[in-house]
Amino acid sequence: MLLSNSVIANSNIQFGTSGARGLATDFSNNVCAAFTVAFVASLENKTPIKQVALAIDNRPSSPDMARACAAALLQQGIEPVYYGVVPTPALAYVAMQQGVPAIMITGSHIPFDRNGLKFYRPDGEITKADEKAILEADVAFSSVDELPVLSVNETAAKQYIERYTSLFSDSVLQGKRVGIYEHSSAGRDLYRAIFEACGAEVVALGRSDEFVPIDTEAVSDEDKAKAVEWSKSYHLDFIFSTDGDGDRPLLADEQGTWLRGDTLCALCAQDLGIEAIAMPVSCNTMIDGLAGFTHVARTKIGSPYVIEAINALNQSGAAVAGFEANGGFLLGSDMQINGQTLKALPTRDAVLPAIMVMASTVGQLENRVAALPTRYTASDRLKEVDKSISQVLIKEGIESPQSLLAKLDIASSAVAHVDTTDGLRLTLSNDDIVHLRPSGNAPELRCYAESDSADKAQMLVTTVLEAIYRSLLVS
């Protein structure tokens, strides 16, 4: 017999900003089983577990990981209900409606050679306290040597489509041409049905048989160029895409310009009539001053922190939502839209912000974005940066922020404010912001910047990351 806490402790798998993540090769059958039985044990002191919902993204390693989780459940006398390849919010939604826990096998946007497990209680995404309970659970289980065959239940896909098509008429997107950048997204076979049911003419773009790790916070130059070319070639009004597991959106305007995720979500929140917002410290500061938002809570980066803030805001009685700079929108309150009830879904979702903004925008989306306060954000990352290197850099910046600015080639401004909510966020005397943070999901160092022009925000990110690369990784 094996013990879950021992297997997990020796697995090299760790909880990040959203789920347990690591190299795909480290997610052995027994590691997947250990996390599964520990997750069940963390819930069973509250209610007996009879079923657990499972789904996967399109990574090559995901099917066998799901089968290993299912094998562990069967050992425990629990029925695995397998929904196949669907977006993470589709799995979360069907599980919440049925009152069962769920496990999503996905690495989201992280590199191809990695994967992850994301856990949901019957009432929604787990908290940091739940993560601790999983790691500390001491559950005996048998080695998983044979994997079961899983049959796909289509209910999650159908309910997710109906969640949005039921809200709008079949003419709300009439006359609009919507490109769907499909790549290897887990939801690529669902999005066409949603948008066409709303009256849009859909053009499928960029479908890939190989997994593509799209990061909505660090869109590649190649994907930026693709969107511009597609927009011109196909005369598109919008281009929609997501990350690998369909919980973070990308939406491009008529020019093929991808919107920043927090900009998209802010527009969506206004369209929904949201009053109270929870969002990470990395989101654009212009959002705090937008009309209609009576409460704004800033958190550490990661959906568990946003969900904790949503739960607190729900005590106010206001209409509540949360979102992240990556575009994932978390609906904290039931909402009425066109006479229909849209149920709360407090986990990141890609479709809601995109379809609300497309449906609500009269005229050009480009003009609507331009009417927002002139604060711009940019972000990017250095890959393969050990977390210890990032931590040394951040520690130096906390102790001597002005010295760090010199190292980052931006010493012309003074440091006006230091924020250590998550990593190191420096507000400069000219109101520019530079934020450094180790990724919670992969060996990467992220840089976020904010300024009064898009070019300057991007220049800050490029300058800082190039300086870090030279000083820490080349020397």
Over range 313-331, report the average pLDDT. Answer: 94
Of 138-147, 241-250, 352-361, 390-399, the poorest mean pLDDT is in: 390-399
Residue 158 pLDDT: 98
Q: Is the pLDDT score of 49 beyond 90?
A: yes
Contact present, 13 and 131 (Cβ < 8 Å)? no
Q: How far apart are CA 103 and CA 122, in angstroms?
A: 11
Residue in the block written with tokens 């069967």 = 74
Residue 77 pLDDT: 96
* Backbone φ, ψ for residue 114 (5° rounding): -120, 165
| Per-residue pLDDT tens digits for 63-85 | 999 999 999 999 999 999 999 99
Which residue of the set 108, 185, 231, 241 is catalytic? 108
Structure-block tokens of residue 276: 């109270």
Q: Is the pLDDT score of 473 beyond 80?
A: no
pTM (two decimals): 0.90
Residue 386 pLDDT: 87
How would residue 18 be classed by pLDDT, with cut points 50, 70 and 90? confident
Told to judge if 400 belongs to the known catalytic residues of this protein, a careful annotator would answer: no
Q: How far apart are CA 64 and CA 104, in angstroms?
A: 13
Mean pLDDT of the chain: 94
Domains of the chain: 2-153 (3.40.120.10), 166-370 (3.40.120.10), 376-474 (3.30.310.50)
Q: Is the pLDDT score of 264 beyond 80?
A: yes
Residue 440 pLDDT: 73
Q: Which of 158, 209, 150, 221 is nearest to 184 (CA)?
A: 209
Q: Is the pLDDT score of 165 beyond 90?
A: yes
| Per-residue pLDDT tens digits for 174-232 | 999 999 999 999 999 999 999 999 999 999 999 999 998 888 988 999 999 999 999 99
CA angle 132, 135, 138 (to 5 degrees): 125
How would residue 474 be classed by pLDDT, with cut points 50, 70 and 90? low
Residue 99 pLDDT: 96
Residue 242 pLDDT: 97
| Per-residue pLDDT tens digits for 267-281 | 999 999 999 999 999
Q: Is the pLDDT score of 45 beyond 80?
A: no
Length of the chain: 475
Q: Is the pLDDT score of 475 beyond 60?
A: no
In SS3 terms, the chain reads as CEEHHHHHHCCCCEECCCCEEEEHHHCCHHHHHHHHHHHHHHHHCCCCCCEEEEEECCCCCHHHHHHHHHHHHHHCCCEEEEEEECCHHHHHHHHHHHCCCEEEECCCCCCCCEEEEEEEECCEECCHHHHHHHHHCCCEECCCCCCCCCCCCCHHHHHHHHHHHCCCCCCCCCCCEEEEEEECCCCHHHHHHHHHHCCCEEEEEEECCCCCCCCCCCCCHHHHHHHHHHHHHHCCCEEEEECCCCCCEEEECCCCCECCHHHHHHHHHHHHCCCEEEEECCCCHHHHHCCCCCEEEEECCCHHHHHHHHHHHHHHCCCEEEECCCCCEEECCCEEECCEEECCEEEEECHHHHHHHHHHCCCCHHHHHHCCCCCEEEEEEEECCCHHHHHHHHHHHHHCHHHHHHHCCCCCCCEEEEECCCCEEEEECCCCEEEEEECCCCCEEEEEEEECCHHHHHHHHHHHHHHHHHHHHHC
